[in-house]
Amino acid sequence: MIESNKQQTLLNLVRLRYADAPGMLNTTQVISGYQLQQSSFLGVASDTFPIRPNGGIAGQFQETPTFTFQPVTGDAYAYSFLRPLPPATLLPLAMGGLPIDILLRLSVQSVNMMSNNRPFSKNSDDLTAAANTQTTEFLELIHDLRVLQAAGLLSIQLEQDKASATDKTPPHSRVYLSLTATDDAHLLAIEQKVKKLLHFSSRSSRVEIVYGVGEAQPGEVRLLTRSMLSILGQVAYQIQIPDDEISSGSTRRNNTSQNEEDQSLIKVYSSHKRPHHDFVSVHYDDYYYWIDKRDFDSKLAFTMMQMLSELSKTTQNPGSVVTIPVNR
């Protein structure tokens, strides 16, 4: 089931790169069926001399698992793919040790006025094709946040606003980012830079993370988070497609520079031959697409993207299901 989820995620990336619609199947039931057959026989051959008994024993073990999938459609599809991830759901992942720089590069469109936008629909004839929308400030910010996280100076607090709770709605979650004071001159300089970029108030050691875009007020950070469709699209845009697929019109060449290719979070390779060192691979349009299992950075970013996908899911009312028996 884990492998099928990995393949489903990679296939959605490739499909988006070809302007194909992504899809999602939730595994609702796995049934393992086992069958053990035994037989034996004993006989006497009368046409031989001397008369000799003969016999034998035979056995057969058969495993027949059955997988039941439910396609994600309707409101569940819109909720899972189109709803931006709430900051209160997203930021606590950094508390568990996930690199905050990769987390923000995947899931955030902008922090205050610092943009992380790389439009995957950008073409060579667009008026803004030459514009560099991925600002240097954003990359510097997430790099500094990662340094402070690794040094143990960055923390995320999640608080429940019980005053917002009603009989039908749970308490509203508020998320804060705080920085711990340090005597290290190098880390202190990084802290001061981050505080300036994030509009820390001089009277407080933390800022509140809120959903939004634009210039923030002192003491708050506006985080414009992405939907799962946007996360997939941003990663899909960076996939390098074989030249013959581009010349055939199946998809278009992306307009990334060599430097941007080197900065790709997830490197996806392609070939007509089945890969031998793949972390996950799929077959699409006569090509195999895969992530190399020796590429730790790509594997980490891909795994984090799967975590975000799980966070974006919601419960779904029973509907049409797909049942697939597997004989071994």
Quick: pLDDT tens for 107-129: 999 999 898 876 544 555 554 44
Any domain includes 131 = yes
Distance of CA 32 to the CA centre of its chain: 28
Nearest-angstrom CA–CA distance, 53 and 47: 11
Helices 296-312 and 228-237: angle between axes, nearest 10 degrees:
160
Any domain includes 43 = no
Confidence band for 214, pLDDT divided at 50, 70 and 90: confident
Q: 17 with 239: CB under 8 angstroms? A: yes
Any domain includes 195 = yes
Query: What is residue 309's predicted lDDT score, i.e. its pLDDT?
Result: 87
Nearest-angstrom CA–CA distance, 43 and 28: 50
Any domain includes 41 = no
- For residue 129, the enclosing domain spans 85-226
Domain count, the chain: 1
Question: How many other C-beta atoms lie within 10 A of the C-beta of residue 311?
Answer: 15
pTM: 0.75
Confidence band for 259, pLDDT divided at 50, 70 and 90: low
Residues 275-302 as b/e (b if ≥16 CB within 10 A, e otherwise) read: beebbbbbebbebbbbbbeebeebbebb
Is 310 or 63 the better-scoring residue by pLDDT?
310
DSSP assigned state of 116: B
Among residues 54, 1, 8, which one has the least CA distance to residue 28? 1
Nearest-angstrom CA–CA distance, 287 and 278: 14
Is 149 or 80 the better-scoring residue by pLDDT?
149
Any domain includes 208 = yes
Any domain includes 140 = yes
Any domain includes 139 = yes
Residue 322 DSSP SS3: strand
Quick: pLDDT tens for 61-77: 666 665 555 556 566 66
Quick: pLDDT tens for 145-179: 999 999 999 999 998 876 665 666 666 789 999 99
Which ranges constitute the DSSP H helices of the chain?
A: 2-17, 74-82, 87-90, 100-107, 136-150, 185-197, 228-237, 243-247, 258-262, 296-312
Query: What is residue 135's predicted lDDT score, i.e. its pLDDT?
Result: 74
- What strand order describes the sheet that includes 66-71? 25-31, 66-71, 322-325
Any domain includes 214 = yes
